[in-house]
Amino acid sequence: MNLKKVILFSLLVAGGTTAFAQNSNLRKAKTGLQEFQKLQGSNIAPEQLAQLGGKDLLSAKEAIDAAITHDKTKDNPETWTVYALIYTSLANLEQSDEAAQTAEEGIQKAKELDSEEKNQENIAIATQQLGQYSFNKGVGSWQEQDFKTAYADFSKALTFLPGDTTLTYYSGLAAIQNEDYPNAIDKYKQLIPQKEFSQHKAITIDLPKLYLSAQDTTSALDYAAKAVAAYPDDNDAAVQNIELNLITGNEEKIINEIESQVAKDADNKTLHYYLGIAYSASGDNDKAIEAYKKAVELDPDYADANKNASATIINGVRDRLNALNEDKTLSNSDYNAQVSALKEEIKQALPYLEKVVQLNPDDIDALRSLKGYYDFHQDEAKSAEINAKIEALQQ
């Protein structure tokens, strides 16, 4: 994420008239601030602004510091509003935490005194500038990869700019980078109702992942379903919902949704693989094998699909062989005939097993399955060959 610092150029709004006469210090402070803001509004580089406008701002600071103690102006809300504006400008110009804290105190005092609300616009500008200061600090912390501090800075900015969607988003991103999932979830949830926000879809789809990282699978499933409802035509939302249901053991529940996605995206090998998992869990091995085969057809080197295809075939044969072995009513001829049929059936697993071993020659589990295949076919030479590979890997 490339975060950029943004400098606000907010000209001082003309203040309302006051029942108190302005002394020279308040006038001088306003004049110095206005001169600084004129220069600021010309969009010059920050270095030039500090060099050319810094003198005016420091002059304004000296004057306003005197004005807040003068009997005629110390209880004037405009005095404290100008005080806040000057110190927020100093904070942003000098990157000064001390000036920012002073500005915050000035804003609070201005609000307390401004009973007639004549300074609201200028107080709002000062507040916005403090939010900008905290945001810029957060950007600096992010760039230094200090994500914990960046989160604190962005969250501080939100106290001045409540509800700002960009700040809320950046706060969530910083929390994610710091693996602070509760705060990341909180920030993302605040953005879910903001459907016009540019990153709304990404947030909606990522929120279930955050819940999963926080080990809250119930909420992860809930928000995954909500993501599909909000973006029914989005493949990422649909696949995520499928994956979460598979992870949490809801295979049968999700079969129809996987089939629906397969109908939309028939060349998506992963969807066929997921469909195989769902059918296998539901006990429909024939459809599971069919789905795995389709995934392999789309990608012959799809290791997981090859492995699951072979395992499903072998497990099905094994279960029927066990049933035969337990059936004491079978004659020898019937038993041998059915075993021969199983040997023919299991042959379809061989190319998938061989592909798994080809893709990962060190996969001991796959080698053991391949050895078991040859043992079942009573191919002693092949069984010994595979066993030698297994023993070599175990040394």
Give CA–CA dist 371/387, Å, rounded: 7
pLDDT higher than 70, residue 264? yes
Residue that has been written with the tokens 């307390």 in this structure: 112
pLDDT score at 250? 87
> What are the pLDDT digits (tens) for 202-253?
999 999 999 999 999 999 999 999 999 999 989 899 999 999 998 888 888 8
- Residues 236 and 224: their CA atoms lie apart, in Å, by 10
- Above 90 in pLDDT, residue 18? no
Average pLDDT score, the chain: 90
pLDDT digits (tens, 9 = 90+) for 269-300: 999 999 999 999 888 999 999 999 999 999 99
CA–CA distances in Å: residue 154 to residues 134, 148, 185, 192, 207: 6, 10, 15, 19, 19
Q: What is the pLDDT of residues 36-81, one digit of tens each?
A: 888 877 777 777 777 776 788 898 899 999 999 988 899 999 999 9
pLDDT surpasses 60 at 12: no
- What confidence category does residue 35 fall into, taking pLDDT thresholds of 50, 70 and 90? confident
Mean pLDDT of 329-342: 92
Supply the angle between the helices 77-94 and 24-40 in degrees, to the nearest 10: 40
Alpha-carbon distances of 146 from 8, 137, 139, 141, 174, rounded to whole Å: 24, 11, 10, 5, 9
Residue 362 confidence (pLDDT): 93
User: What is the distance between the alpha carbons of residues 215 and 140, in angstroms, rounded to a whole number?
Assistant: 31
Could you tell me if 137 and 107 are in contact, meaning their C-beta atoms sit under 8 angstroms apart? Answer: no
Contacts of 82 (CB under 8 A, 6+ apart): 15, 26, 29, 30, 33, 60, 64, 67, 122
- 357-391 residues labelled b (16+ CB within 10 A) or e (exposed): beeeeebeebbebbbbbbebeeeeeebeebeebee
* CATH domain 300-395 topology: 1.25.40
Report the pLDDT value the prediction gives residue 86, as an integer from 0 to 100. 93
Q: What percent of the chain has pLDDT over 70?
A: 94
Three-class secondary structure assignment of 223-268: HHHHHHHHCCCCHHHHHHHHHHHHHCCCHHHHHHHHHHHHHHCCCC
Q: Which of 183, 169, 178, 240 is nearest to 208 (CA)?
A: 240
